[in-house]
Structure 1
């Protein structure tokens, strides 16, 4: 399944910029055949517009991918819960376009052109009957009605990711305000396509590292991500991420005997850079450490390890 990180456009992607510009300030937009890579542009434009909810029919697989995309998935769900957008799954738009159409009562914008060189073709009330670049065009109101019909026929699939608001509220309740503030800062600083789940370093790794900066119990972190209404990922998936951080000497897992049964693990940052960094700097620190070569057991090779790392007992405490 295609993930956000695989299809998210470059910051200067001309099609994404054109879509955001074309949609900003519009009202009553109906979109059909929206791919994953254009969703951030649509959300950005919606944030600068008013009026009733925009209706967005995404291509098959998009909503499913959002359930594994922390940054973009929480933003989309937030927009749904505040009735800024309504999201469904439907087939791409046809009739010789690139499969994506954005329509409002007085204007229609269709993605056209070959893959890798696509642009927007715009039709307004004034030029619908002109020859333009491809002969007579359908009036915008007719295109709008067709888009509405296609949206109505699409499937209403819920996004399997909590809204940003519910995610942070759960973090404050189960963990604490400091951790929740770190998560909020990181989510606001990351581009929508960053930290997907296609590689070893994922959004789950990032959450474990943030929890370790505040000495949280691994049990509590997993309880938060598995809570009804949050559900970022299954609780059992975070063990691999914890081990990867330990192997790269970023955190440690301290056994904490707490009555009968197996001891609990407390997450604790042992890397001075991770501990002292501002929250928005944590992703860069993780990317740098995970880029270092490792031995067969996953641990950083000695020649690549930092020689000036301070011992754990000298690290700064919050």
Structure 2
């Protein structure tokens, strides 16, 4: 595989088609979704599995043209690998999307803070720009193939003979091909734009939660983050990351003001504080929590969040997401309250029927 061969994926498609790796798992069609939740969870993705397997244990990896679809696989491989930082140039829009994805965004920020990876934003894929490529001193893997049937073409240097050993789909077994692919990847990374991930690392997120809120909330949040799949609780899903955080706070009778202080732009910066009001009201309307006015000195009274639905109170932290998704799936009236007929035994959430 020559350095030019690394562009097979992009050169085979138009600019719009090159965005197909962003597409929803059921279609792999043309489109350019801008949210992690549009792509993940992705229950069965042979390409992502192949990428994780190919990268785990390698040193000096330079990855370019990386879409949201493959970023979790790259991160998982890095977690299984020691050594210096990997350099990753993502496709345009990926870094922005991480700032609206609580689960994946905090995981990527954690890896950046630990100097495990360095993330930049590369150019749009198109004719002559090169496709998705993973290169290291002894091996290069390029994503090739038509939409819906992407695969890895691998060239590896034989450590004994110095000759390249082609695994699949590569055109040139010479070790110069790997050198050329690595040089191409390094050049593309060097030309990419450094841009911060607008999401705190998990270490900083939880440390601030313990300081501003309390240990119980921080412990719940740590458990939830560790148990959730990539793409869960995005900014645009009905049960958003804001909804989740308000519900967790209500399990511990925290003040709404303190939650917004911790989470807002003056705190860890997950989202503007004012954006949480709608999520709080949605939880109140569905009967999951209540807001209790607490007069504390002059000025407007503050609101204390309190969980009132047993399913939310009794759930283990890792079960809270399922409780929220179940309740938000129930039909509501025009005021946003769960309809009376949905509260009958036949429509009660399965966890409530099981524990009654």
Query: TM exceeds 0.5?
Result: yes
In the TM superposition, residue 136 of structure 1 has moved relative to its aligned partner by 3.1
- Conserved? CA contact 2:155–2:170, under 8 Å: no
2:98 paired with 1:66? yes
Q: Distance in 1 between matches of 2:80 and 2:56?
A: 6
The CA RMSD measured in Å over matched residues stands at: 2.2
- Conserved? CA contact 2:65–2:132, under 8 Å: yes
Structure 2 matches for 1:1-318, cutoff 5 A?
2-8=34-40, 10-91=42-123, 99-126=131-158, 128=164, 133=169, 135-136=171-172, 139-226=177-264, 228=266, 230-305=268-343
Change (3 A) 1:257 1:194: same
Q: Secondary structure at the match of 2:88?
A: strand
The two structures have a TM-score, normalised by structure 2, of 0.82
Describe the superposition over 1:17-45 as per-residue Cα deviations: whole angstroms up to 9, x where unpaired. Answer: 00000000000000000001111111110
The two structures have a TM-score, normalised by structure 1, of 0.92
Q: Distance in 1 between matches of 2:314 and 2:167?
A: 62
- Conserved? CA contact 2:154–2:168, under 8 Å: no
Moved more, 198-207 or 85-94: 85-94
Q: Distance in 2 between matches of 1:275 and 1:11?
A: 29
Moved more, 127-136 or 156-165: 127-136
Q: Distance in 2 between matches of 1:73 and 1:130?
A: 35
Q: Distance in 2 between matches of 1:98 and 1:208?
A: 43
In the TM superposition, residue 132 of structure 1 has moved relative to its aligned partner by 6.6
Q: Secondary structure at the match of 1:165?
A: helix
- Conserved? CA contact 2:153–2:167, under 8 Å: no
Total equivalences in the alignment: 309
Q: Distance in 2 between matches of 1:187 and 1:258?
A: 33
Describe the superposition over 1:194-226 as per-residue Cα deviations: whole angstroms up to 9, x where unpaired. Answer: 111223210110000000000000000000002
- Residue 22 of structure 2 corresponds to which residue in structure 1? none
Q: Secondary structure at the match of 1:296?
A: coil
Change (3 A) 1:230 1:130: closer
Structure 1 gaps of 5+ residues are 310-318
In the TM superposition, residue 133 of structure 1 has moved relative to its aligned partner by 3.8
Q: Distance in 1 between matches of 2:144 and 2:129?
A: 5
Q: Distance in 1 between matches of 2:144 and 2:128?
A: 8
Structure 2 gaps of 5+ residues are 1-32, 349-356
In the TM superposition, residue 92 of structure 1 has moved relative to its aligned partner by 5.3
Q: Could you list the runs of 4 or more consecutive aligned residues of structure 1 that deviate by over 4 angstroms after TM superposition?
A: 92-98, 126-132, 306-309
- Residue 313 of structure 1 corresponds to which residue in structure 2? none
Change (3 A) 1:114 1:231: same
Describe the superposition over 1:183-202 as per-residue Cα deviations: whole angstroms up to 9, x where unpaired. Answer: 00000000111111223210
